[in-house]
């Protein structure tokens, strides 16, 4: 069968598929050979096309077939590509969960840390805010107290001025009326300047003292010992307390008051300083130029310290106030005339803020003292295991010049002071009939027991200091500022 006829037959077969009608006949041809005939009815053509038309149709079919094969190749390539993508995605789904979980965990850890930091900062800010509010409340309270004290001082000052004017008028009239009756010797006395306010203030000052004390007391400003010597010696007697002043408010429950045994201008031996030490930030130092101002409660000046002080261990010596800085082992030298700090020094190893106080407490870990030999500091250390340590201080630089460690436990005594280089201790701060119970002599480095009567008249002595110029003990006993005469033996 010719190839053209075979192709024609195939074309007719393909065209006839859509019609679903085909016939197959078998018969011998003219030469006697068997011939198969396959007929397909065209669905669109009424008659068979010519040979040229058949070739055109076959070519069209071939092009369609080639186009379809190209499309199939494209589809196959796309399927292959999709299979590759699907394979990669399948592998990625296996690997991704672990990496994703690790990344999420890292992010969670970072967020947790940031949250903790924010919470910490929030707590710190809340604490700081609380502290600021508390400090503000304290400052406002102090401001109200200062305003009230200022108003009270103004009223007192006005009252004092009026009283001075009244006394001046009364003294002038009295002096004028009595001068005519005076003897010539008395007229010499009348030449005192009655306009001098100091004289007038002293004239108006009266103290009630038992007659026995007047007879026992020496007439000079420096009490004599048994044989009339006015120098140093051992303490052998303490007199009865004499009350000079009573604090007005609760801040004066305990405190410290003093006079300078080595006064410098513009101060005198009568200038008095007072500090009420009840409170959290004690800075006020009341100054009284005259004794009468002190006894009547009219300060001539109020110093505001540059830093708070602690406890009742302050002293005045050579024109400077020496005190312990609050919550520290630092001793501060504050010059009163210039109102400035001249020196600061830590006491090595000294306990502070309640580590080694006296028996009554009050943060009395560091106690300053003055005697005929100079400036001292009384304290204790961990190395001394609570025993009293006594050091001599340089009054200008606060350097420790010499130190003695005693065998007297600081917590077992109520207070201490120094006379002529010897440390003396008080047995109780509250017992009405206490004693001076121990003495430590720095010259010999030895201690001895004593039993010198010491009276706590108001039953809460928070400060006992010695004034070598007046040869008296100054004390603060339950709101009251008192003095004790003392008697020393001959060296």
> How many C-alpha atoms does 47 have within 13 Å on its Cβ side?
3
pLDDT higher at 341 or 137: 341
User: What does the pLDDT average to over 142-159?
Assistant: 76
pLDDT higher at 90 or 389: 389
User: What does the pLDDT average to over 263-290?
Assistant: 95
What pLDDT score was predicted for residue 107? 82
Q: With 0-12 CB in 10 A as exposed, 13-18 as middle and 19+ as buried, what is 256?
A: buried
Given a cut of 90, is residue 154 above it in pLDDT? Answer: no
**Least confident among 6-10, 329-333, 431-435:** 6-10
Q: How confident is the model at residue 166 (pLDDT cuts 50, 70, 90)?
A: low
What pLDDT score was predicted for residue 341? 97
Q: How confident is the model at residue 89 (pLDDT cuts 50, 70, 90)?
A: confident
* Pairwise CA distance, residues 144 & 167, whole Å: 34
- Buried b / exposed e across 402-418, counting CB within 10 Å, b at 16+? eeebbebbbeebbbbbb
Given a cut of 70, is residue 229 above it in pLDDT? Answer: no
Given a cut of 70, is residue 384 above it in pLDDT? Answer: yes
Q: How confident is the model at residue 56 (pLDDT cuts 50, 70, 90)?
A: confident
**Least confident among 117-131, 135-149, 352-366:** 135-149
Placement of tokens 């890292």 in the chain: 106
Share of the chain above pLDDT 70, in %: 75
User: What does the pLDDT average to over 310-324?
Assistant: 97
pLDDT higher at 446 or 168: 446
Query: Looking at residue 205, what DSSP letter applies?
Result: -
What pLDDT score was predicted for residue 200? 29
pLDDT tens by residue, 420-454: 999 999 999 999 999 999 999 999 999 999 999 99
pLDDT higher at 147 or 238: 238
Under 8 Å between Cβ of 245 and 297: yes
Angle (CA) 246-286-345 rounded to 5° is: 120
pLDDT higher at 110 or 477: 477
Given a cut of 50, is residue 42 above it in pLDDT? Answer: yes
* Pairwise CA distance, residues 50 & 424, whole Å: 151
User: What does the pLDDT average to over 397-424?
Assistant: 97
What pLDDT score was predicted for residue 126? 85
| C-alpha distances in Å from residue 372, one per residue of 258, 262, 368, 470 | 15, 10, 14, 11
Share of the chain above pLDDT 90, in %: 51
**Least confident among 63-67, 292-296, 317-321, 336-340:** 63-67
Helix, strand, coil percentages, rounded to 5, for the chain:
35, 30, 35
The overall average pLDDT reported for the chain is 81
**DSSP secondary structure of 374-443:** EEEEEE-BTTTTTEEEEEEE-TTT--EEEEEEEEEEGGGSSEEEEETTEEEEES-SS-SEEEEEEEEETT
Q: With 0-12 CB in 10 A as exposed, 13-18 as middle and 19+ as buried, what is 145?
A: middle
pLDDT tens by residue, 183-225: 343 333 333 333 333 332 333 333 343 434 433 333 333 444 4
Q: How confident is the model at residue 377 (pLDDT cuts 50, 70, 90)?
A: very high
Q: How confident is the model at residue 70 (pLDDT cuts 50, 70, 90)?
A: confident
């Amino acid at each position: 069968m010719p190839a053209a006829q075979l192709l024609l037959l195939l074309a007719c077969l393909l065209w006839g598929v859509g019609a679903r009608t085909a016939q197959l006949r078998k018969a011998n041809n003219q030469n006697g050979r068997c011939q198969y005939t396959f007929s397909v009815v065209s669905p669109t053509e009424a008659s068979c096309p010519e040979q040229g038309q058949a070739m055109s149709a076959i070519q069209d079919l071939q092009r369609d077939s080639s186009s379809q094969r190209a499309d199939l190749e494209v589809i196959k390539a796309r399927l292959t590509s999709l299979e590759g993508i699907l394979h990669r995605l399948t592998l990625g789904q296996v690997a991704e969960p672990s990496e994703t979980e690790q990344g999420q965990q890292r992010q969670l850890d970072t967020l947790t840390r940031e949250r903790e930091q924010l919470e910490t900062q929030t707590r710190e800010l809340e604490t700081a805010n609380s502290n600021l509010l508390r400090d503000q409340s304290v400052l406002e309270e102090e401001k109200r107290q200062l305003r009230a004290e200022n108003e009270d001082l103004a009223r007192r000052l006005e009252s004092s001025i009026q009283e001075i004017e009244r006394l001046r008028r009364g003294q002038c009239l009295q002096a004028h009326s009595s001068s005519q009756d005076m003897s010539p010797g008395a007229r010499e006395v009348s030449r005192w300047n009655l306009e001098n306010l100091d004289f007038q203030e002293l004239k108006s000052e009266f103290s009630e003292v038992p007659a026995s004390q007047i007879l026992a007391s020496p007439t000079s400003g420096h009490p004599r010992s048994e044989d009339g010597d006015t120098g140093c010696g051992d303490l052998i007697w303490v007199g009865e307390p004499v009350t000079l002043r009573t604090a007005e408010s609760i801040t004066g429950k305990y405190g410290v008051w003093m006079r300078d045994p080595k006064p410098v201008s513009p101060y005198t031996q009568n200038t008095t300083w007072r500090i009420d030490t009840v409170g959290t930030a004690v800075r006020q130092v009341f100054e009284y130029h005259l004794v009468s101002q002190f006894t009547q409660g009219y300060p001539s000046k109020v110093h505001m310290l540059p830093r708070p002080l602690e406890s009742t261990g302050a002293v005045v010596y050579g024109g400077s106030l020496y005190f312990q800085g609050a919550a520290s082992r630092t001793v501060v030298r504050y010059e009163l005339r210039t109102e400035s700090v001249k020196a600061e020094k830590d006491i090595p190893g000294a306990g502070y803020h309640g580590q080694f106080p006296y028996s009554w407490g009050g943060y009395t870990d560091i106690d300053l003292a003055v005697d005929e030999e100079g400036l001292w500091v009384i304290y204790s250390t961990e190395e001394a295991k609570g025993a009293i340590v006594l050091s001599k201080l340089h009054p200008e630089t606060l350097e420790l010049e010499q130190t003695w460690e005693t065998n007297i436990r600081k917590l077992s005594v109520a207070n201490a002071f120094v006379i002529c280089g010897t440390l003396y201790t008080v047995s109780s701060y509250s017992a009405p009939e206490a004693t001076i119970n121990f003495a430590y002599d720095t010259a010999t480095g030895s201690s001895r027991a004593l039993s010198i009567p010491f009276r706590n008249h108001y039953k809460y002595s928070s400060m006992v200091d010695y004034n070598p110029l007046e040869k008296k003990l100054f004390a603060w006993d339950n709101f009251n500022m008192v003095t004790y005469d003392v008697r020393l033996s001959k060296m």
